[in-house]
């Protein structure tokens, strides 16, 4: 048996499971939420279920105690505390836990110093701090960090496969491909159970769960879950243990076929990696079409969200943020009479904003958002959360009133999601009656225009 194969069998498929430890005082003080554990799980492919995620302070004794709680044969991933400041104690804790020395790695030190020189750093204190970053517990190997200075550390200690990564998310992400390659040489990473996924928008969680109910009742053998995303709700059904006595993959396919007519119309995609703005851009780009937006209550958030997607410039032309009424008049040619008669948060104004920006920016599709995000500004007739969304297409203009149920931040997010998904539906289906469907949670039932 080759050494690589021996190494693979000695750990089985990381038979004692995955153990994650997130180190950092800021995680316990609520200043930062641990999102690194999710990043690590995603990179691992989702087939290795975490036995536990421990969040511990930057104190060696607590890090050691957390390492003690992991099981031999496991894959242990520690994130955070690898920097060069005095509160970064993870290296020291790992060496203490494994009872191994913590020598300086001369090659690593030279690399870190050269990098500091290249960045124009000269201060003595910086170079002194680098010395601690060059310490590597005996038995671990540094993995070069393509993004920041702190290297990752990988190796086998006390019968565990140990991976130690910096806490800064971008640095961690930069190291993950190298970590996965290293792991694959040692263990057969289990594959995730087969999964069917629908990503939906414009419906609340309970409404989505209700639409799945008939199929769920017929397929209780599958694992059903509903996850909130920034845009709406993701529906995920899995066939756990399909390879070891669980439901046959055929059950999953059958359930998916039954679910498709219910979820396809409200779904912007089936791929966990494709977010709603990217889904909108892909559709626009397939048509060679452009989009522009006119924003009031979202204050540029819709435009910022559209530009989060790399390559957005091929379909997004720009935005007019018209927060004040006179800006709506001067920049979007909204008639002052409409504002006086209906108010800024109204269907006619949303329509005029959409057509105004369509014309000013010369785009094929235009979205407009005008609403009362809260906490103040609501009235009996137009309570907080009331928002009009307008959509101008090459052939028609549509408006819809929404009543979002949350606070300012979430209401603005929901408005952005609803606007993007309305455009997505228009691009998917030329039939305008599919822009708003029965069961959409926040769309009110006012007539929605359609003429010019």
Number of residues that bind ligand ATP (CB under 6 A): 21
Strand 140-143 and strand 386-392: the pairing is unpaired
Strand 386-392 and strand 397-403: the pairing is antiparallel
Q: Does 83 bind ligand ATP (CB under 6 A)?
A: yes
**Chain centroid to CA 425:** 22
Q: Does 88 bind ligand ATP (CB under 6 A)?
A: yes
Residues across the chain: 452
Q: Does 62 bind ligand ATP (CB under 6 A)?
A: no
Cα distance between the two ends of the chain = 75
Query: What DSSP string runs through 314-383?
Result: GTEEEEEE--SHHHHHHHH---HHHHHHH-SSSHHHHHHHHHHHHHHHT-SEEEEEEE--SSS---SSS-
Q: Does 356 bind ligand ATP (CB under 6 A)?
A: no
Residue closer to ligand ATP (CB basis): 77 or 369 = 77
Q: Does 377 bind ligand ATP (CB under 6 A)?
A: no
From the list 23-31, 100-108, 259-267, 386-394, the region that binds ligand ATP by CB under 6 A is 23-31
Q: Does 351 bind ligand ATP (CB under 6 A)?
A: no
Residue closer to ligand ATP (CB basis): 80 or 371 = 80
Residues near 300 by beta carbon (within 8 Å), at least 6 away in sequence: 319, 321
Query: Cβ–Cβ contacts within 10 Å for residue 452, how many?
Result: 9
CB of 144 to ligand ATP, least distance (A): 15
Among 32, 96, 285, 307, binds ligand ATP (CB under 6 A): 32
Residue closer to ligand ATP (CB basis): 79 or 448 = 79
Q: Please state whether the peptide bond connecting residue 375 to the residue before it is cis, i.e. omega within 30 degrees of 0.
A: yes
Among 21, 27, 319, 363, binds ligand ATP (CB under 6 A): 27
Query: Cβ–Cβ contacts within 10 Å for residue 312, how many?
Result: 20
| Residue nearest ligand ATP, Cβ-based | 83
Q: Does 24 bind ligand ATP (CB under 6 A)?
A: yes
Report 100-139 residues binding ligand ATP (CB under 6 A): none
Q: Does 79 bind ligand ATP (CB under 6 A)?
A: yes
CB contact at 8 A, 305 and 416: yes
Binding interface with ligand ATP (CB under 6 A): 22-24, 26-27, 32, 34-36, 79-83, 85, 88, 150, 166-169
């Amino acid at each position: 048996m080759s050494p690589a194969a021996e190494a693979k069998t000695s750990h089985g498929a990381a038979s004692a499971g995955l153990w994650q430890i997130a180190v950092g005082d800021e995680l316990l003080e609520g200043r930062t939420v641990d999102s690194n554990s999710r990043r690590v799980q995603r990179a691992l492919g989702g087939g290795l279920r975490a036995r536990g995620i421990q969040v511990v302070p930057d104190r060696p004794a607590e890090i050691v105690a957390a390492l003690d709680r992991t099981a031999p044969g496991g894959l242990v991933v520690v994130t955070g505390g690898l920097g060069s400041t005095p509160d970064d104690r993870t290296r020291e804790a790992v060496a203490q836990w494994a009872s191994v020395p913590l020598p300086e790695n001369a090659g690593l030190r030279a690399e870190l110093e050269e990098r500091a020189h290249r960045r124009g750093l000269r201060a003595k204190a910086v170079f002194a701090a680098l010395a601690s970053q060059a310490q590597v517990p005996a038995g671990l190997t540094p993995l070069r960090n393509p993004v920041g200075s702190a290297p990752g550390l990988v190796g086998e200690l006390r019968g565990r496969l140990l991976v130690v990564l910096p806490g800064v998310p971008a640095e961690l992400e930069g190291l993950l491909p190298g970590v996965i390659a290293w792991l694959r040489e040692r263990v057969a990473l289990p594959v995730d159970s087969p999964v069917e996924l629908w990503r939906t928008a414009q419906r609340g969680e309970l409404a989505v769960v209700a639409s799945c109910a008939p199929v769920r009742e017929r397929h209780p053998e599958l694992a059903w879950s509903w996850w909130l995303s920034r845009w709406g709700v993701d529906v995920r059904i899995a066939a756990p243990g399909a390879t070891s006595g669980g439901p046959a993959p055929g059950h999953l396919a059958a359930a998916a076929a039954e679910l498709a007519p219910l979820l396809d119309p409200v779904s912007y995609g089936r791929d966990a990696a494709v977010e709603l703005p990217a889904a909108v851009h892909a559709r626009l780009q397939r048509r060679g079409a452009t989009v522009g937006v006119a924003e009031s209550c979202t204050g540029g958030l819709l435009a910022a969200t559209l530009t989060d997607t790399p390559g957005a410039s091929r379909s997004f032309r720009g935005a007019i943020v018209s927060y004040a009424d006179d800006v709506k008049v001067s920049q979007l040619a909204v008639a002052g009479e409409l504002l006086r008669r209906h108010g800024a948060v109204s269907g006619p104004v949303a329509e005029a904003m959409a057509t105004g920006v369509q014309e000013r920016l010369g785009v094929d599709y235009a979205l407009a958002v005008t609403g009362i995000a809260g906490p103040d500004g609501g009235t009996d007739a137009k309570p907080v959360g009331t928002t009009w969304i307008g959509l101008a297409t090459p052939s028609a203009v549509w408006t819809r009133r929404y009543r979002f149920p949350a606070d300012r931040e979430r209401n603005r997010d929901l408005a952005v999601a609803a606007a993007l998904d309305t455009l997505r539906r228009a691009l998917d289906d030329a039939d305008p009656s599919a822009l708003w469907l029965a069961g959409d949670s926040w769309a009110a039932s006012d007539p929605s225009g359609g003429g010019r």
